Amino acid sequence: MKLRLALLLLFISLGFLSPAQEHVISAATTLTDDCSSLLDKKLDFLIDGSFQDESSLKKEIERLKECGLDDFDVKFFGRMESMSAMLRKMTKEKELEQLSFEDLVTQIEKIKATSGFLKIKNITLLSETLATRTGNLKNWNEDIKIFQELGASKNVISQVFEYLEAHPENTKSYQEILKSLKK
C-alpha cells in the first residue's frame, strides 16, 4: 500500500514537472514564432562538429535572442564555462543527443532567476556604464553612486574626484582615468 502511494505521488509529481518547465520558459519570455520553432530543435551543434570554439557557441546562443535573451545573456551564456556547467546539469536528465533548445532555454532561465546571476549582471552593466562614461564634475553626484555600488574604495573615489577637479575640461572615460591613476 505504501509503495503504491509513493509511486502514485511520484507519478503525479512527475506529471507536473513538464508543464512547470514550459511555464518557466513562457513566463520569462514572449514566445515568437521563430522562438517556438527554435525550441523544438535539437542541440545538434553539440554533436555534429560545428561546436568547435567559443565563437561558434556564441553564435548558437545568439539565436536565443528570439526567445528573450539580451546582449549580456548572450555574452554570459556564450562562454565555454557557462555551457559546460549547463551541460553537466542537463545531461543528468537526458542524453546529449536528446537535448533541445527548449532544455537549454529552461536551464538559462533557471540560472537567470538566481540572485547570484542578477548580482553579476548588475555589477557588469554598472562597470560597463562607468567604463564608457566621460568623467566630469557635472555628473559626479550620479557617478559616485556607481563607484560606491561597485565597491570602490574611498581612496579610489577620492583620487578620481581630485583628478576631475584638476582637469575640469576632461574628455577621458572613467576607465581611462583609472588607468592613468594606476601609473
Q: What is the pLDDT of residues 59-104, one digit of tens each?
A: 999 999 999 999 999 999 999 999 999 999 999 999 999 999 999 9
Q: Is residue 101 part of a domain?
A: yes
Q: Which among 20, 133, 33 is positioned nearest to 144, based on CA atoms?
A: 133
pTM of the full structure: 0.70
Q: Is residue 86 part of a domain?
A: yes
Q: Does 151 lie in the same domain as 65?
A: no
Q: Does 96 lie in the same domain as 136?
A: no
Q: Does 77 lie in the same domain as 19?
A: yes
> Is 2's pLDDT higher than 70?
no
Q: Is residue 118 part of a domain?
A: no
Q: What is the pLDDT of residues 162-177, one digit of tens each?
A: 999 999 999 999 999 9
Q: Which among 37, 51, 125 is positioned nearest to 61, based on CA atoms?
A: 51
Q: Is 42 strand, coil or helix?
A: strand
Q: Is residue 22 part of a domain?
A: yes
Final residue in a domain of this structure, among 113, 145, 161:
113
Q: Does 102 lie in the same domain as 58?
A: yes
Q: Does 90 lie in the same domain as 36?
A: yes
Q: Does 152 lie in the same domain as 89?
A: no
Q: Does 102 lie in the same domain as 38?
A: yes
Q: Does 102 lie in the same domain as 21?
A: yes
Look up the domain containing 143 and give its range: 123-182
Final residue in a domain of this structure, among 85, 113, 141:
113
The cell 583609472 sits on which residue?
Answer: 178
Q: Does 21 lie in the same domain as 58?
A: yes
Q: Does 105 lie in the same domain as 15?
A: yes
Q: What is the mean pLDDT of residues 109-132?
A: 95
Distances (CA, A) of 113 to 28, 107, 118: 9, 10, 7
Q: Does 67 lie in the same domain as 13?
A: yes
The structural domain count of the chain equals: 2
> Is 4's pLDDT higher than 70?
no
CB-based contacts of 175, cutoff 8 Å, min separation 6: 130, 131, 132
Final residue in a domain of this structure, among 79, 113, 147:
113
Q: Does 42 lie in the same domain as 101?
A: yes
Of 49-53, 56-60, 152-156, which range is least confident?
49-53
